[in-house]
Amino acid sequence: MLRTVCLSLLFLAFLSACSAGTATDVKSVQLLNVSYDPTRELYRDVNERFSKQWLDKTGQHVSIKQSHGGSGSQARAVIEGLRADVVTLALGYDIDAIHKRGKKLGADWQTRLPDNSSPYTSTIVFLVRKGNPKGIHDWDDLIRSDVKVVTPNPKTSGGARWNYLAAWGYVLERELQGDWSKLSDPAAAGQVAAAQIKAEQFVAALYRNAPVLDRAARAATNTFAQRGIGDVLIAWENEALLAIKELDGQGLELVAPSSSILAEPPVAIVDTVVDRKGTRQIAEAYLQYLYSDAGQELVAEHHFRPRNAAVMTQHQSEFPAIRLFTISQVFGNWQQAQAEHFADGGRFDHIYTVPKS
């Protein structure tokens, strides 16, 4: 009996070792890319081009499945067991959560690829009705009593958190005359405290103008563009440009605020999954493709801002000129921003009340 048990255990160990090997010696393999909402079209094309390149190079067929939703919700799904080979989410905090809570990737995930593992950037802009009937030009217009704002819920959507922080940072920049060094200057503590109060009041007023908070960025776009709700959508720049393109310029216009936040959506391999499936080599090549010249061209074609300077120069005229500030300049890092603003009992919970019907 003991001998039989030992042989069974050895056989299971052998199978486990085989499954943790490499998938590059089989004829076909499948990856799962768990991403946030506004990347559907980008990764549809990336998947097609990468798969062809990989087939030409190795003779192996690779298919990449996509999963999309609010970035925070997607991160929780991976933590709870969704077998993603790679995650391409809206913000670093969500991938950090997969590391810290799910123990599914290494703490060094953000140093494995260039630019803090962010192969493209974006920012936050406004989408308005054709002709801009409410005369919306900058953040201050979003708190007027005659304006209804559409934005997703920062509890579930990464884009919504960028929206919120962009609005908050706009007020701080104005109140501090653009001098971010005051945030860490003890001599300016009084001015900074007053500016933070004004930022909180401003963002609270903005959310009082939001009749509905969808769970994700694409749902908010549909609420605004298809259901006709609201006067202005706070949106990813790429999402706004895509909506205008799909409607062929009929019915919607982009408004670029005077300042906004530099959004840096990161990508990462999910170590526990790729090692179990043997797909690490293919998953690494897939993410590295995003940094290639061909990948960066696709990034630009789908209205994300490429990291490659030469590619960005070729497409510069397609992106509005906006003064951009960063997370580190204004909020320290994503861990600090999450704890202060979006954690249970944070500033968002303090300022947001569900509008009365």
What residues contact 102, with CB distance under 8 A and at least 6 apart? 78, 79, 80
pTM of the model: 0.88
The mean pLDDT value for 143-162 works out to 95
Cβ(164)–Cβ(341) below 8 Å: yes
Please state, rounded to an integer, the average pLDDT across all residues of the chain: 91
Asked whether the domain spanning 124-261+326-351 has the same topology as the one spanning 2-121+265-318, the reply is yes
Q: What percent of the chain has pLDDT over 90?
A: 86
pLDDT digits (tens, 9 = 90+) for 165-202: 999 999 999 999 999 999 999 999 999 999 999 999 99
234-254: b (≥16 Cβ within 10 Å) or e: bbbbbbbbbbbeeeeeeebee
CATH code: domain 124-261+326-351 is 3.40.190.10
Cβ(342)–Cβ(155) below 8 Å: yes
User: What is the rounded distance in angstroms from the CA atom of residue 134 to the CA atom of residue 141?
Assistant: 9
H-run or E-run covering 275: helix 271-277
Query: Using CA of residue 174, residue 179, residue 182, residue 183, what is the dihedral sign?
Result: positive
pLDDT at 27: 85
H-run or E-run covering 260: strand 259-261
Cβ(347)–Cβ(340) below 8 Å: yes
What residues contact 50, with CB distance under 8 A and at least 6 apart? 62, 64, 285, 286, 289
User: What is the rounded distance in angstroms from the CA atom of residue 287 to the CA atom of residue 297?
Assistant: 15
pLDDT at 26: 76
How far apart, in Å, are the Cα atoms of 77 and each of 71, 83, 87? 10, 9, 11
Q: Where do the domains of the chain lie? A: 2-121+265-318, 124-261+326-351
How far apart, in Å, are the Cα atoms of 255 and each of 86, 130, 136, 168, 319? 33, 11, 8, 18, 11
pLDDT digits (tens, 9 = 90+) for 204-213: 999 999 988 9
Residue position matching structure tokens 């940094």: 291
Structure-token pair, residue 147:
């304006």
pLDDT digits (tens, 9 = 90+) for 97-151: 999 998 999 999 999 999 999 999 999 999 999 999 999 999 999 999 999 999 9
pLDDT at 211: 85
Cβ(155)–Cβ(93) below 8 Å: no
State the pLDDT confidence band at 274, using cuts at 50, 70 and 90. Answer: very high
Name the CATH superfamily, with its identifier, for domain 2-121+265-318.
Periplasmic binding protein-like II (3.40.190.10)
User: What is the rounded distance in angstroms from the CA atom of residue 149 to the CA atom of residue 58?
Assistant: 50
